[in-house]
Structure 1
Amino acid sequence: MTLTVRARRPGIRSLLLLIVSEGKMVVRDTAGLIVPIGLPLLILLTSAGSAGEHVIANGMTALDLYVLPLVLVIMVATIGIINMPSFLAYYRRSGILRRLAVTPASPFMVLAAQAIVSALQIIAGIAVASTVAALAFGANPPVDLAAALGVLALAMAALYGVGLIVAAIAPTPNAAVALGLVAFFALGALGGMFGGREALPDPVAEVGGWLPFGAAVEALTAAWAGVPVPIGQLLSLGITVVIGAVTAALLFRWE
């Protein structure tokens, strides 16, 4: 009589162990831990003083409507487009994903754990930036908090989608960092990271507003002001999520 032993699929406990392991990796990566939070905080600290004195409408200042949404999107983009792809490229280069592929633990569990740890890092960064802005500069919370949280969640998914494309096409960890930096600065420049889209030529500014960085900033600004979030920007972010997922599914290599 032949006995067939079926390998048990890993459950929640295995995922939690992977999350803890991913968290330790992020903590040990000093630059990857500090830069995504430190850089936006630096922008906040250098801009908040004058922006907090410039009232735009209904008691909301330039700090509330322009600086804070930009700072939060920079934080999400840094982690999603630069950090996350470099970790995945390292795992692929070192053979971790290949070894996981022949065990009951799917490589997709690593993706899930990395996404969860990155999300926790983003939540921590948003909490720090919002607290500093409120306590030190008197920043106001979003008028429509639910819409702001929804936009942030969609922006995270969209910018992670861009990061997955980077991870799919980058052959090495160094290439992932390089491509991620190029994508980050290109999307950021077109989305108003360096002085607002108003300084760009009209056609370029229009395109930048539809790309994920600019769309996220514009949608988050609307939620902060309490006005309806533009449907076009939400569709742009949603389309980016789909394109990122499909591209990664087609091109991502586990080894």
Structure 2
Amino acid sequence: MIEVTARRPGARAWLTLVRCEAKMVARDTSGLVVPVALPLLIMVMNASSARDQEVADGLSALDVYVLPLVFTIVIASIGIINMPSFLAYYRRTGVLRRIAVTPASPAMVLAAQMMVSLGQALVGVGVAYAVAVVAFGANPPTHLGVALGVVALATAAMYGVGMVVASVAPTPNAAVAIGLVGFFALGAVGGMFGGTDALPEPVERVGEWLPFGASVEALSAAWAGAPVDASNLVVLVVTAVTGTVAAVALFRWN
């Protein structure tokens, strides 16, 4: 009896999957445009006045407050709303189940989708920053390395939340609905609709211990050259780890 061993997918298979995922994302016009256009609109609406408000050491309110908020909105909208909807669609239509009987693994689809959505997030952040620099004279972060580290942690945290959404949402529409509720709930207590100092003190404290508010605060501190509060980093790490563990436990391929 001849034993046949299936070949594991190589680099070409990965490239094909990533290319297919990129095409799927590109065809989703609203999902492609809104996560980039909405934060950009928010930045442009606030940039004219914010760039004239000096905060410290030559940095403006645009640098220290507006850009950290815009970056967080880009990352959160893609991680919590866009990415889960694609994964829920694949599960609903049986794509993951069919891939499971091939040499490829359904996990490869998840990884490819996350790679593409991460690329989309980088484009969104890059476009926002480029417009801020060219049109409004924005300054780079005082602690660039720390800022990049915070962005990486914020991305991991938001994707941790998004994976939980993808795990519990039975349909793509449900994933979008749950993601939107989660996104706006986190944003509302995290400063998306105005400074958190205008919120009741208990709500403000809650916002600081959630990933959206922690991301904005940590990125603002890095931009201003101030020490990043350790509690912000703890929130992001715990959210990323907890979200990943919960998603692994709850996710169903079928």
TM-score normalised according to structure 2 size: 0.99
Measured against aligned partners, the alpha-carbon deviations of 1:129-157 in whole angstroms (never above 9, x if no partner) come to 11100111111010111111111011001
| Counterpart-to-counterpart distance in 2, 1:201 and 1:16 | 49
Residue type of the partner of 1:157? A
Deviation at residue 223 of structure 1 after TM alignment: 0.8
1:159 aligns with 2:158: yes
| Counterpart-to-counterpart distance in 1, 2:228 and 2:3 | 56
Could you tell me which runs of 5 or more consecutive residues in structure 2 were left unpaired when the two chains were aligned.
none
Could you tell me which runs of 5 or more consecutive residues in structure 1 were left unpaired when the two chains were aligned.
none
Runs of 4+ off more than 2 Å: none
| Counterpart-to-counterpart distance in 1, 2:93 and 2:245 | 25
Q: Which residue of 1 aligns with 2:246?
A: 247
Kindly report which structure 2 residues correspond to 1:30-109, keeping only aligned pairs within 5 A, or say none: 30-109=29-108
Residue type of the partner of 1:146? G
| Counterpart-to-counterpart distance in 1, 2:67 and 2:117 | 20
1:140 aligned counterpart, secondary structure:
coil
Measured against aligned partners, the alpha-carbon deviations of 1:91-128 in whole angstroms (never above 9, x if no partner) come to 00000001111111111111110111011111111111
Residue type of the partner of 1:208? G
Measured against aligned partners, the alpha-carbon deviations of 1:162-205 in whole angstroms (never above 9, x if no partner) come to 00011111011000000000000000001010002111111110
Measured against aligned partners, the alpha-carbon deviations of 1:28-83 in whole angstroms (never above 9, x if no partner) come to 10001000000000000100000000001101110000000000000000000000
| Counterpart-to-counterpart distance in 2, 1:186 and 1:132 | 28
| Counterpart-to-counterpart distance in 1, 2:251 and 2:6 | 26
Deviation at residue 15 of structure 1 after TM alignment: 1.1
Q: Which residue of 1 aligns with 2:237?
A: 238
Q: Which residue of 2 aligns with 1:185?
A: 184
1:56 aligned counterpart, secondary structure:
strand
Q: Which residue of 1 aligns with 2:2?
A: 3
Kindly report which structure 2 residues correspond to 1:209-228, keeping only aligned pairs within 5 A, or say none: 209-228=208-227
Deviation at residue 89 of structure 1 after TM alignment: 0.4
Measured against aligned partners, the alpha-carbon deviations of 1:202-240 in whole angstroms (never above 9, x if no partner) come to 111011011000000011111111122111111100000
| Counterpart-to-counterpart distance in 2, 1:219 and 1:13 | 39
Q: Which residue of 2 aligns with 1:208?
A: 207
1:134 aligns with 2:149: no
Residue type of the partner of 1:184? F
Residue type of the partner of 2:230? I
1:253 aligned counterpart, secondary structure:
coil
Residue type of the partner of 1:162? V
2:247 aligned counterpart, secondary structure:
helix
2:139 aligned counterpart, secondary structure:
coil
Residue type of the partner of 2:177? A
2:140 aligned counterpart, secondary structure:
coil
Query: How many residue pairs align between the two structures?
Result: 254
| Counterpart-to-counterpart distance in 2, 1:247 and 1:115 | 17
1:188 aligned counterpart, secondary structure:
helix
| Counterpart-to-counterpart distance in 2, 1:7 and 1:229 | 49
